[in-house]
Amino acid sequence: MSWFSYGYEIRGRRQEGHLKVAFVGNENEIARVFGHGRRKAIEQRADVLEGVVNPDDPRMHAVEAIFSTWGMPLLTEKQLESMPKLRAVFYAAGAVGYFSAPLLARNIHISSAWRANAVPVAEFTLAQVILSLKGYSSNLRDPSRQQTPPAPGIFGETVALLGAGATGAKLIELLRPFRIEVIVFDPFMTADRAESLGVSKVSIEQAFSDALVVSNHLLDVPETVGLVHYELLSSLRRGATVINTGRGRTFRTTDLVQILQERPDVTALLDVTDPEPLPSDHPLRELPNAVVSTHIAGSIGDEVLRMADSAIEEFDRFLGGETMHHLVFG
């Protein structure tokens, strides 16, 4: 039996004033993410409205904090006007862009568990990086074991990360025990930040030409859409692997397909794609050097509990009048 089956350790005390709290959003997702004692831990800290509450419920008038996860609704102006006491939303998931604007406009705090969600992505990518440096995928698809280019292995090899945000930084930390040179393309990373992470900041061209493994962790913003194109992919080293656990739109899919067709020595490990999901007859599903998983790098199964824990820790800071660590800003 795993540790979380025994229930979440309840810390902190119920606050004077009996803060009113509601769970809002998708009932099934809330039950899953706030299971194994997580909801009970919140109930020990505040007066929690029963069940999952509809935003139009009159009881929302007294609510000061909302807990939610995937499926959080975009609250309308009318609904927000009916919640005059709402001060904070604790979102046990990652991206908040689709619902955050009206909340931030009213100076309602939003705390997101995006850093917690970055942990399983980094762990998943670490496994793929290590196996790629050993030439695992190319070895498996060559039954004769004669045509596969010999992989150089892990020791002293170069890995390039696109992006050094929460996931990239966590992956750098996980790679640290290995004798691997990590280079990073991130236009927002300063020289001081690169030094603190122990990595070299490089151009995107150098990232693709120098590394045996290139792993994408860039944000999905207009500037990164289609950033990885044919010329960059064509500069990959022999036997190289590209990993995408970030966003599918960062890669120009038609260019990626063309390179994989032209260069059977290159491998693509894709947990995200553009489009997503891929049509059943898409070329990426047929190419032997493309491995497409179904967006499993992020929090799945019991990993979602880490995000609830992050939200509860933030709630404790909120109750204690402390600065929250994972606030979202407009």
Q: Is the pLDDT of residue 252 over 80?
A: yes
Average pLDDT, the chain: 93
Cα angle vertex 171, ends 114, 36, to 5°? 45
Is the domain of 122 the same as that of 243? yes
Instruction: Give domain status of residue 100, yes or no.
Output: no
The stretch 219-223 carries a mean pLDDT of 90
Instruction: Give domain status of residue 279, yes or no.
Output: yes
Q: What's residue 253's pLDDT?
A: 98
Q: What's residue 141's pLDDT?
A: 84
The stretch 264-289 carries a mean pLDDT of 96
Contacts of 33 (CB under 8 A, 6+ apart): 69, 70, 92, 93, 304, 305, 307, 308
Q: What's residue 146's pLDDT?
A: 62
Instruction: Give domain status of residue 197, yes or no.
Output: yes
pLDDT in tens, 48-83: 999 999 999 999 999 999 999 999 999 999 999 999
Contacts of 1 (CB under 8 A, 6+ apart): none
Q: Is the pLDDT of residue 135 over 50?
A: yes
Is the domain of 151 the same as that of 82? no
Exactly one of 32, 181, 263, 276 is catalytic; name it.
Answer: 276
> Is 295 an annotated catalytic residue?
yes
Is the domain of 248 the same as that of 224? yes
The stretch 257-270 carries a mean pLDDT of 97
Exactly one of 106, 263, 295, 317 is catalytic; name it.
Answer: 295
- Residue with tokens 């004798």, as numbered in its chain: 179
Q: pTM of the entire structure?
A: 0.89
Instruction: Give domain status of residue 56, yes or no.
Output: yes
The stretch 139-163 carries a mean pLDDT of 83
Is the domain of 136 the same as that of 285? yes
Confidence of residue 171 (pLDDT cuts 50, 70, 90): very high
Q: What's residue 148's pLDDT?
A: 60
Confidence of residue 1 (pLDDT cuts 50, 70, 90): very low
Is the domain of 26 the same as that of 80? yes
Distance CA 182, CA 175 (A): 8
Greater pLDDT, 12 or 79 = 79
Is the domain of 244 the same as that of 130? yes
Instruction: Give domain status of residue 127, yes or no.
Output: yes
Is the domain of 51 the same as that of 140? no
Instruction: Give the structural domain span for 173.
Output: 118-292
Instruction: Give domain status of residue 209, yes or no.
Output: yes
Q: Is the pLDDT of residue 235 over 80?
A: yes
Q: Is the pLDDT of residue 155 over 90?
A: yes
Q: Is the pLDDT of residue 8 over 60?
A: no
Q: What's residue 144's pLDDT?
A: 67
Q: What's residue 145's pLDDT?
A: 60
Exactly one of 45, 247, 249, 252 is catalytic; name it.
Answer: 247
Q: What's residue 140's pLDDT?
A: 87
The stretch 22-47 carries a mean pLDDT of 97
Give how far Cα 266 sits from Cα of 45, 136, 234, Å: 53, 12, 10
Confidence of residue 139 (pLDDT cuts 50, 70, 90): confident
Instruction: Give domain status of residue 16, yes or no.
Output: yes
> Is 247 an annotated catalytic residue?
yes
Q: What's residue 142's pLDDT?
A: 77
The stretch 207-220 carries a mean pLDDT of 96
**Structural domains of the chain, count:** 2
Q: Is the pLDDT of residue 4 over 60?
A: no
Two tokens, residue 184: 């990073």
Confidence of residue 149 (pLDDT cuts 50, 70, 90): low
The stretch 268-297 carries a mean pLDDT of 96
Is the domain of 128 the same as that of 42? no
Is the domain of 145 the same as that of 230? yes
Q: What's residue 13's pLDDT?
A: 40
Is the domain of 124 the same as that of 266? yes
Q: What's residue 18's pLDDT?
A: 80
Is the domain of 144 the same as that of 286? yes
The stretch 282-292 carries a mean pLDDT of 96
Is the domain of 224 the same as that of 315? no
Instruction: Give domain status of residue 61, yes or no.
Output: yes
Distance CA 236, CA 128 (A): 17
> Is 141 an annotated catalytic residue?
no
CATH of the domain at 150: 3.40.50.720
